Amino acid sequence: MPKKIVHYEIQHFQSCEQFDLAYERCEKKATHKNYCNVDDLPERIQEDTLRQFIKIRCDLTVLIEIPTSDGIRCGSGFIQKIEHIENAPCPCPNCKDNAVIGYGKVTLSTALCVVKEDDDAAKCKVRLFYDNENSEISIIYGLSSHSRDEDEDWCAVVCVTHDNELLKSLTNALNQHWTLGRKLKEQHQDENSNEVVVIAHPHGGPKKISFGKGKMCDFAKEVRDDQLWCFYSYDATTCDGSSGGPVYVMGRWNDGFGYWFGHAHNHCGIDNRSDSSSTVGVDSTYDQVTKSFSTINMNKKENQKLSDTIQQEFSNTSQTVTVIDKMNVDKVDKSHTSTYIDNYRSDIVNSSHTLSYTGWFKCNFYICKYNVLDINLESDFFCFIERSISTIC
């Protein structure tokens, strides 16, 4: 199961409240400096393909507004699919009295916390291209939702418009997004990279981009032989209103993008380890090797402290432990693992100054040197290693 979300980052405006007021009173105001504007990517993003990909992804990121009994609920979303309907009347609100024949369905992926109820989808007002206060914004309207998944906090929202120029522009953007995403996967899938890019509408305002590092990858389930549903956590800056915004992890891509089994990762909220976390999303694993997701530099004194902490916490748990030694997996009772533990502690203490810890699809969290431990996820004990690291780094 994914980590517990303790705060869903949706923005709620009371009647007559404005975006700038929410921005000013945000508890994370000090981190707002980490946001980038759409037209102001940092100089460190030198790779042309990545810059193009981020800008196209921005074009496909939207602001979702849903009226409530006392105001408006705001979140973000991501356009994933365009469908052209040629010989039917447009069902958008502007066509009630004189419907245009022919329209398009625009399917968004977002977090379920944004579109809480099934009938919320039909109330959605979706703003496109809201990049700054002077942007020429296009508006489309919600029609219905589907694939609502409460356990994994994800859903799809179908919107409609009869603006053919808009549909043509979005179709072109999706085609470019596919081409660039595939290219980035081919270029970076063998690298040990955990760069994360989040695009969203914090506080219901103009679109912002934030960059960070991946912290964890939690396996949810296998969709097909070469596709896995998983969750990511990361340290990229997010605020209320960011829920539903697309999350991109460098080199991770899904070949079924645009289909029910190929939706992107969307930002969800803050988890019980104070990290930003995504909804479930789909990654392609075809011809992709298992790799480390993050690295911590520690000296031998810190390694000793870490091993002592692991030993103490391990002694306090009664859970069954999965011991992985060079990818050979055995489930053993704690009482029979003393040899593994002794060897493991020795490996940590005697290791070089770099100690890697990894999030992998089928091994939700482990520290690796030679022997690897993965605690049964039915217990909250699985995060003890990360807690240990956080106390000494």
For residue 341, what pLDDT is reported?
Answer: 44
- Which pair of structure tokens corresponds to residue 133? 């206060």
SS (H, E, C) 356-373: EEEEECCEEEEEECCEEE
Q: For the chain, which residues make up each domain, given as ranges?
A: 5-284, 294-392
What letter represents residue 66's amino acid? Answer: I
Q: Which long-range contacts does 324-331 make (Cβ < 8 Å, 24+ apart)?
A: 324/363, 324/366, 324/371, 324/372, 324/373, 324/374, 325/370, 325/371, 325/372, 326/370
* Cβ atoms within 10 Å, residue 28: 14
- List the chain pLDDT tens, one digit each, 393 residues: 445 788 999 999 886 667 778 888 899 999 999 999 999 998 888 889 999 999 999 999 999 999 998 889 999 999 999 999 999 999 999 998 889 999 999 999 999 999 988 899 999 999 999 999 899 999 999 999 887 877 778 899 999 999 999 999 999 999 999 899 888 888 876 665 678 999 999 999 999 999 998 887 777 766 665 667 788 888 999 999 999 999 998 877 665 555 545 677 899 988 877 788 888 777 765 444 433 333 334 455 555 555 565 555 555 544 433 333 333 333 334 444 444 444 444 444 444 333 333 332 222 333 332 223 333 333 333 344 444 444 433
Rounded Cα distance, 13 and 361, in Å: 38
CATH C-level class of 5-284: mainly beta
Element (H, E) at 348: helix 338-349
Rounded Cα distance, 313 and 386, in Å: 12
Whole-angstrom CA distances from 233 to 143, 151, 171, 275 are 31, 17, 30, 6
- Which pair of structure tokens corresponds to residue 182? 């595939």
Report the DSSP pairing between strands 208-224 and 138-149.
unpaired
Residue 233 burial class via C-beta count within 10 angstroms: exposed 0-12, middle 13-18, buried 19 and up: buried
Rounded Cα distance, 70 and 77, in Å: 22
> Residue 196 forms beta bridges with which residues?
212, 249
Rounded Cα distance, 267 and 278, in Å: 4
User: What pTM was estimated for this model as a whole?
Assistant: 0.73
Whole-angstrom CA distances from 238 to 3, 30, 64, 318 are 17, 12, 16, 37
Sign of CA dihedral 230, 380, 198, 246: positive
Report the DSSP pairing between strands 265-271 and 246-249.
antiparallel
With beta carbons less than 8 A apart as the criterion, state whether 220 and 231 touch. yes
Whole-angstrom CA distances from 135 to 132, 207, 312 are 5, 11, 57
